[in-house]
Structure 1
Amino acid sequence: MTPGELKRALKARQFPSLLLLYGEERFFLEETLEKLLKLVVPSESSDFNYNLFHGKTARGSEVYDVARTFPVFSSLRLVVVRDVQLLPAAELDKLLPYLQDPVAETVLVLTADKIDGRRKFYQQFKKRGTLVEFKKYYDNQIPAFVKDRAGQNGITFAEPAMALFCKRVGSNLQEIAGELDKLTTYLGDRTVVDVADVQTIVSDTRVDSVFELTDAIGRQDSKRALSLLNRLLADGTAPLVVLAMLARHFRQMWKAHYLLEQRLGKKEVAKGIGINPYFLDGLLQQVRVFPAARYQGIFEQMLEVDLALKSSGAHASALLEQMVLGICQQDQGI
């Protein structure tokens, strides 16, 4: 079952007796759990009909006994086992008999980051229960999520505001939902978010600084580039994170350069590098500054710094400064 199918089933008050929620996208998983609790167990009876276990400390026999207990003053009981992947195999196998004969009045929900499909328990669960995987969202899926979530809050974005918001918030859905709630409160009676609203409420100096740093490097403005690099480090961004963000940005530029040479349109270029077209124009402005011949040298320097950061006792900021200066001076033949 897909997350969308499960959402429709819950809306129709159709609750699977055996449900396994798993995957990297914790936001939707947690949201689904919260919805199940509200729908399956009314607040006035939750003390009697809601049981929560944790995989690290749970005992299979105890979960089995509770799941077989009939609800009190309610039609359903909800039993949740969080992080079931931490439950030892021997304890997990104690639930196998329950899979063969689940109680109709119990909704047994298991959650996990990932599952081992080779285990007998999961093979049996797949045959008799419902599995729903929550996959991690890609960057190019974020604008659709923002638009949908904003609509639930009763607000919409002007197109430039959407581009800036998505650029600043990253891909953590929990953080995105939080920033949207703050924006909604800030707007008051207004319903349309503009650029000024995003600039006021949402900030991500790391993303902005990395983009500005790349721009400064492209213009061989070493003074500006070093200033931006030191700002990132002073703000507490780890050196390896700075390097990873730069490497990701330059990989996108290199791939965009190649796709442009194939005479592809903007939509195809954006799809090819895995970003939303909202973000493309700014990236392409930087792509035009960097000749194709520069990228190999840039990545070689980044690889050297990566190895040095992980293996030597050299000062991290000095290594990054040297790399930035090297990239800035590459076209100047220094």
Structure 2
Amino acid sequence: MTADDIIKDLKNRKYKPLYLLHGEEPYFIDQVSNYAEHQLLSEAERGFNQTVLYGKDTDIMVVLNAAKRYPMMAEYQVVLVKEAQDMKWGRDDDDKKSINPLLNYLENPLKSTILIFCYKYGKFDKRKKTYKAIEKNGVIFESAPLYDSKIPSWIEAFVAGKKYRIDPQASAMLAEYLGNDLSKIANEMEKLMLNVPVGQTITLQHVQDNIGISKEYNVFELQSALSRKDPFKVNQIINYFEANPKANPIVLVLGNLNNFFSKVLLYHYAKDKSPQGLARELGVSPYFIKDYELAARNYNYGKSMQIISLLREYDLKSKGVDSNSGNGELMKELMFKILH
């Protein structure tokens, strides 16, 4: 099940007594958790029938004592355990000589309690009996991180859910600039949409105006200038980066360039050079294939390999390895070596 599937079931009052939300991507876990916390019960019901606990500040007996209560003037009660990865879960055996209260409850959960564990930043051990008991009597959702190539389409789906559309170039810029932190992307998009009328298409201009990305001097324009082998424009952009280091940190710039030239290298490897085949191989929208075609014409296979090696070398230098130069000076050196 996806997070949207779980929320859809909750909206339709198809409740299970147990939920384990686990995985490395916190955004989807928070999505389900926030819905459960604010929508499952009415405001009047929440006062007596909702318990929110935090893993660091609780233990399994406190959780079980809350779960075993019956609802008051309501059909259900909700027990939400946030940051459950920080909780001491206790033993995971079913030794007949001693009682395991957690397993005992998970195997016979109270039908009037909706118990939700939010286990973030890692996977719950599927070999554990607690996992198998929750799987048998409830719902388990693994929140996996998205591949970088899937982020633009996720952004498009996110804004569509808010009754907006977004240009492919704008979604690609957001994905490259903000990385794969879905919570950060969602927050930035929420702020951006405050300044764009509902139903309108979000453009590259909207992104540049509202998320602090310079129209002329950003890493995407740098990639474009490098693809064209335009030293004048490259130097203009690098000078702007040097004057505005907080807006254009070298780690972000080098990471994006490494991603770009890795895809140029993939272009050289690709057997199917059709727009659709390249889009599939490179993990990008067909809209951007022309950028990689141009770069591949100007940087052959050997030069592309050399550039990736240079990017790694200068990443280490930017961290103080075998270099005392400032970031601006390092970037100028690197650009010269890429272009020549």
TM-score range with shorter-chain normalisation? 0.7 to 0.9
Distance (Å, rounded) in 2 between the aligned partners of 1:267 and 1:207? 29
Q: Does 1:235 align with 2:245?
A: yes
Distance (Å, rounded) in 2 between the aligned partners of 1:188 and 1:308? 45
Q: Which amino acid aligns with 1:110?
A: F
- Give the stretch that moved more between structures: 91-100 or 80-89: 91-100
> 2:96 aligns to what?
none
> 1:72 aligns to what?
72
Q: CA RMSD in A?
A: 3.0
Q: Does 1:209 align with 2:218?
A: yes
SS for the counterpart of 1:95 is helix
> 1:106 aligns to what?
113
Q: Which amino acid aligns with 1:151?
A: A
Say whether the 8 Å CA contact 1:218–1:328 is kept in structure 2: no
User: Which residues of 2 match residues 1-334 of structure 1 at below 5 A?
Assistant: 1-90=1-90, 95-113=102-120, 114=122, 115-157=124-166, 161-169=167-175, 170=178, 171-188=180-197, 191-194=200-203, 196-205=205-214, 209-233=218-242, 234-236=244-246, 237-259=248-270, 262-310=271-319, 311-312=321-322, 314-317=324-327, 318-329=329-340
Shift of 1:76: 0.9
Distance (Å, rounded) in 2 between the aligned partners of 1:25 and 1:322? 37
1:132-170 C-alpha deviation (Å, 9 max, x unpaired) = 11222234434443343333333334xxx3322432354
Shift of 1:51: 1.0
Say whether the 8 Å CA contact 1:139–1:276 is kept in structure 2: no
SS for the counterpart of 2:78 is strand
Distance (Å, rounded) in 1 between the aligned partners of 2:29 and 2:49? 21
- Residues 44, 208 of structure 1: alpha-carbon distance in 2 compared, 3 angstrom cutoff: farther
Say whether the 8 Å CA contact 1:28–1:134 is kept in structure 2: yes
> 1:332 aligns to what?
none
Say whether the 8 Å CA contact 1:168–1:208 is kept in structure 2: no
Task: Give the number of equivalent residue pairs.
Answer: 324
Shift of 1:202: 4.5
Q: Which amino acid aligns with 1:108?
A: L
Say whether the 8 Å CA contact 1:40–1:77 is kept in structure 2: no
TM-score by length of 1: 0.83
Distance (Å, rounded) in 2 between the aligned partners of 1:142 and 1:216? 24
Shift of 1:193: 4.3
TM-score by length of 2: 0.82
Distance (Å, rounded) in 2 between the aligned partners of 1:220 and 1:146? 31
- Give the stretch that moved more between structures: 128-137 or 62-71: 128-137
Distance (Å, rounded) in 2 between the aligned partners of 1:307 and 1:197? 35
Shift of 1:96: 2.4
Say whether the 8 Å CA contact 2:7–2:35 is kept in structure 1: no
1:54-94 C-alpha deviation (Å, 9 max, x unpaired) = 11221111111011111122111111111212112438875
Shift of 1:203: 4.3
Distance (Å, rounded) in 1 between the aligned partners of 2:30 and 2:144? 13
Distance (Å, rounded) in 2 between the aligned partners of 1:84 and 1:141? 28
Say whether the 8 Å CA contact 2:2–2:141 is kept in structure 1: yes
- Residues 188, 227 of structure 1: alpha-carbon distance in 2 compared, 3 angstrom cutoff: closer
Q: Which amino acid aligns with 1:315?
A: S
1:263-302 C-alpha deviation (Å, 9 max, x unpaired) = 4311221111122223333333333322223112212222
Say whether the 8 Å CA contact 1:49–1:76 is kept in structure 2: yes
Unpaired runs of at least 5, structure 2? 93-99
Distance (Å, rounded) in 2 between the aligned partners of 1:263 and 1:309? 37
Q: Which amino acid aligns with 2:251?
A: L
Shift of 1:19: 0.1
Unpaired runs of at least 5, structure 1? 330-334
SS for the counterpart of 2:136 is helix
- Give the stretch that moved more between structures: 244-253 or 185-194: 185-194
Q: Which amino acid aligns with 2:253?
A: V
